[in-house]
Amino acid sequence: MTLDYSHAEIREAVRRALEEDIGTGDITTDLCVPAERRAMGQFIARGRYVIAGLPLLPVIYEMRGGVDEMCVFAADGDETSDGAILARVTGPARTLLTCERVALNFLQRLSGVATLARQYVEAVRGTQCTVLDTRKTTPGLRRLEKLAAAAGGVTNHRLGLFDAILIKNNHIAAAGGVRPAIERARAAGLPVEIEVRTRAELTEALEAGVERVLLDNLTPEQAAEEIRWINGRAKVEISGGVTLANIRAYAEAGPDFISCGAITHSATAADINFRLELL
């Protein structure tokens, strides 16, 4: 799966964010600031972060009539120092002020995701385990949050329900069992992954020739025992209850993958501010 900032869904997310914030007009700026006034603004990191989202700045300003000049000093995945200038923009003061909050909301949110993602990746360094993100994203912002997770070094799992097969426990119940679910899923011609909750379900999945199993909500010790029993007959993903405090223990249990929803649903926004100066 390849993601980039040019996708129409991302432009639509920016458009919606601007419309949500500005509505019928920025009355404070329009009343206080003369239309002819020009300014320069700088986006500044107030801490050490992994940056994501700067490619959105040209899109944001373009949708509000454009600016005179923009210089970007970092790229997705770069680690910043406290006080680092991430980008500089010059143009109509009204445009810079009206776009300020939307630009910061995207940069702060996405850089927070990227920063947390990097911490998870670093926590498993030296093991054979790949860290995955999940679909536990902010509604409407999935592509952006997955771009941010990738900037932090995480591997993107499926984008949605349409691009990969992952049979969960409720699918098994609705299909009438592990084997019927797997057999029906094979009609798509895609690799099949299935969540298993018991040794009996795991045995049935392996006997059906499933390519990948998801072990959910096990302790690291329980996961290690199941992985030894699987003995390479399928790729193994671990999920459920994974935190920065325990992901190393899970990785040392020997899975191929660990998926973690916290990377996107619990990331703390980065502290990035915008400083305006008149020209």
As annotated, the residues of the chain forming the CATH 3.90.1170.20 domain(s) are 8-120+268-278
Helix axes 8-22, 93-123, angle to 10 degrees: 130
As annotated, the residues of the chain forming the CATH 3.20.20.70 domain(s) are 123-265
Per-residue pLDDT at 2: 73
Active site residue 26: no
Active site residue 101: yes
- 173 burial level (CB within 10 Å; 0-12, 13-18, 19+): exposed
Catalytic residue among 100, 133, 195, 237: 195
Cα-Cα-Cα-Cα dihedral sign, residues 176, 179, 182, 184: negative
Q: Distance (Å, rounded) from C-alpha 229 to C-alpha 25?
A: 63
Give the mean model confidence (pLDDT) for residues 47-51: 98
Per-residue pLDDT at 17: 98
- Per-residue pLDDT of 182-220, as tens digits, reads 999 999 999 999 999 999 999 999 999 999 999 999 999
Sheet hosting strand 272-278, strand order edge to edge: 69-72, 85-92, 38-45, 272-278
Give the mean model confidence (pLDDT) for residues 246-263: 98
State the average pLDDT for the chain.
97
Per-residue pLDDT at 278: 97
Catalytic residue among 101, 135, 197, 248: 101
The CATH label, of 3.40.50.300, 3.40.50.150, 3.90.1170.20, 3.30.450.90, for the domain at 8-120+268-278 is: 3.90.1170.20
Catalytic residue among 11, 88, 136, 235: 136
Per-residue pLDDT at 199: 94
Active site residue 216: yes
Residue type, 195: E
Prediction pTM value? 0.96
- Per-residue pLDDT of 63-107, as tens digits, reads 999 999 999 999 999 999 999 999 999 999 999 999 999 999 999
Percent of the chain residues past pLDDT 90, beyond the cut:
99
pLDDT band at 22 (very low <50, low <70, confident <90, very high): very high
Give the mean model confidence (pLDDT) for residues 142-148: 98
Instruction: Supply φ then ψ for residue 187, to 5 degrees.
Output: -60, -25
Contact criterion met (CB below 8 Å) for 56 and 106: yes
Catalytic residue among 68, 79, 211, 216: 216
The CATH label, of 3.20.20.70, 3.40.50.2300, 3.40.50.620, 3.10.450.50, for the domain at 123-265 is: 3.20.20.70
Per-residue pLDDT at 1: 63
Radius of gyration of the chain (CA): 23
Pairing of strands 192-196, 212-216: parallel
Residue 271: partners with Cβ closer than 8 Å, 6 or more residues away? 45, 46, 47, 49, 108
Per-residue pLDDT at 3: 87
Sheet hosting strand 235-239, strand order edge to edge: 130-132, 257-259, 235-239, 212-216, 192-196, 165-167
